[in-house]
Amino acid sequence: MILVVGLSHRTAPVEVRERLSAGAEALPVVLSRLASRSELREVMFLSTCNRVEVVALASEGRADDALRAIREELASHGGLAQEADLVPYLYDRRGEAAVTHVFRVAASLESMVLGEPQILGQVKEAYDAAVAAGALKGMLGRCVSRAFSVAKKVRSETAIGAGTVSISSVAVDLARRIFGDLSQHAVLLLGAGEMAEAAARSLGKGAKELRICNRSFDRAAALAGAMHASAVPWEQLETELVQADVVVTSTGSRTPIVTHAMVKRAMKARKGRSLFFVDIAVPRNVEPEAHGIDNVFVYDVDDLEQHVAKGLQARHAELDAAQAIVMQEVSQFLAWTRGLEVQPTVVALRARTHAVLFAELERSLGGRLKHLGEAERAALAQMLESATNKLLHAPSTKLRSKAESEEEGGDARELAGALKYLFDLPEIASGKGEPGGSEQSERSAGPGRGDDKPAADDDDGVRH
């Protein structure tokens, strides 16, 4: 059974989400711990600024154990003494609800900014990391891969992704609402990754001055060159806080970069001029206590949610169409998984038929037909292969068709049992979604593998 356990901007505040997030360094460790649990056959870990989720395939008959194992590992990863401290923020999905959730997340129907494109790249990165770790290989891998195709279909057949709205653009819009015309104000971007680039593009040439500060000066300089901005060394950050009016932070640091003490010193030099932070990083880049300093305003990613709805009416109008696509694709995927339930019987029947016919052929070739040459022997073998395929095609197709029908699934199991009894077939483990067997291999790609390539990661950028 496919499972999802996680938390999002809808269930947990940023101070909880940031404890469970995992950057490039922590991700292999988290995946390794999850993959080592016997309760889980496959697993993927997704971490963004708005959600942290474990998507898993439970070991046969151990769904409840698998859910408990995931909660334990999440609590341990978050440094929580007790699993109970995390439970109030968590949601879990099973079976069809889990598949639906995975498809909706990839299609950006669960995002804070409906239709934003970044989430698909993040899911692909999580998928690639899990595959590289050997934690994703069978049915769950095909489920996530299918989600890529679903997301692409939603974006191509609806206007859910119309425009360029993203967390970064919402941050810039918020700055404009507070300051009005930014042409008289200096903006500092802290970070030079994907989110910083998106913010820079949203700003365009609207700011009086745009400066970019990043640990890697070369990355800051490259982005600055593309955006007609100025790059500044990391060591000058505190000096830059004295000059800037708006600071947008989006680095991948695990600890705050802008401290309360740093802001207090900068404000003394600013002589009371207001300083506005939009912190779209998770974990947060700005210490929350800085908000308590006079004339300092700190907005984190959760504060942006109330500003998201404006201007998105057109996207919400497309929501029903997008949801209809998702549900249709979920139905097709579940039909495919039901077909896998009878696949061992189909493979066993083919193996039994093949073994009997070729045993008789070998007996004949060693007796009355031993005078035949290699060409004639090969022709007989090919004839038996063809006969096996034609003989078993109709029963195999009809059995799978019944299995894929939700209404007739029970009939398919009865028919599979009858075949096992009549042909004395051996018991074969289901191994749903695992490659193996000639007929299984024909279907192993599942319903529509996604072929999109993952986006390149940014060293200092935070993905949302």
* H or E stretch at 312: none
Q: Whats the size of the chain, residue-wise? A: 464
58 closest CA partner among 75, 29, 34: 34
Angle (CA) 385-391-393 rounded to 5° is: 95
162 Cβ neighbours under 8 A, 6+ residues apart: 115, 314, 315, 318
Q: Name every residue whose Cβ is closer than 8 Å to that of residue 280 and which is 6 or more positions away in sequence.
A: 49, 167, 168, 171, 195, 199, 248, 249, 250, 300, 301, 304, 462, 464
Judge contact between 174 and 299, C-beta under 8 A: yes
> Which residues are known catalytic residues?
49
Rg (CA), the chain: 28
What does 402-428 look like in DSSP terms, one character per residue? HHHSTTTHHHHHHHHHHHHHHTTPPP-
Q: What angle do CA 83, 89, 92 make, to 5 degrees?
A: 85
Cα–Cα distance, 171 to 249 (Å, whole number): 10
Give CA separation, 136 vs 42, 148, 291, 343, 410, in Å.
5, 15, 43, 21, 29
